[in-house]
Amino acid sequence: MKTEDIPLNRLYNDLSYLWPVISPPEEYGEEAGLWQKVLREYLGAGRHEILELGVGGGHNLSHLTAHYDAAAVDISGKMLGLSRRLNPSVTHHLGDMRNVRLGRKFKAVLIHDAISHMLSEKDILDTFTTAAVHIDTPGVLIVAPDYFRETFSSPTVECRTQIDESMKLTYFEYAHDPDPNDTVIETVFTYLIHEKGSLRLEHDRMITGLFSKRTWACLMSEAGFSTEERTFSLESEDRPYVMLIGRL
């Protein structure tokens, strides 16, 4: 089977029910603590209004809703359904982070690793423009791409087995850069799903963006933000965790 024969983005569609098993909400506690630390630093104390673009299943956001009033946007109705169940206090909107307009302002806009699905500089600039439109100045934008051109090593391989009350799931993730001259990488997933006494195999594929840190900073500046890079260490990560912070 050629990789191009594998359907794209099944994890956000018919395989979305696997997401809470692949990446359980409780595993986001340490990471979300960093987001809260940065929000407190830039916004100060108080129950501020925040917006997450590309919320996915809402796992990172679930650790922030006790402290902030939140709204969320995602292009996948399936993922929004997961987030609604996990985060009932959050106002959810179906939309594309590149052009959604909610008609209201927030003190902070958060974009977790969903920003990695932007495949061109125009996509990124459009998304940063969306963020700027929704920020009540002074406010802050926080972005966390999965990879940067300077730090991505092809191929990157991950394998894990996760178990919940309904299934045992083993997945293999293979990320590689077929063409170093373009701005995208390909990640191929294989899921071995053991449930209801049977084992089945599913394949999935994603195309995500790969840009230099300078490109990210320049596009954030073009959208009107003053920019800062912040690097942290996470016990759950074997590589530096980088946030891009924009002030407006």
Mean pLDDT along residues 111-128: 98
pTM: 0.96
pLDDT at 66 over 80: yes
Strand order in the sheet with 49-53: 91-94, 69-74, 49-53, 106-111, 135-143, 241-247, 226-232
How many beta carbons lie within 10 A of that of residue 89, not counting itself? 8
Flag whether pLDDT at 236 surpasses 80.
no
Is 158 a residue whose pLDDT tops 90? yes
Interval 181-209: pLDDT, tens: 999 999 999 999 999 899 999 999 999 99
18-48: pLDDT as tens digits: 999 999 999 999 999 999 999 999 999 999 9
Per-residue model confidence as pLDDT tens digits over 73-117: 999 999 999 999 999 999 999 999 999 999 999 999 999 999 999
Tell me: pLDDT of 235 over 90: no
Q: What is the pLDDT of residue 237?
A: 77
Residue 35, pLDDT score = 97
- What is the chain's mean pLDDT, rounded? 96
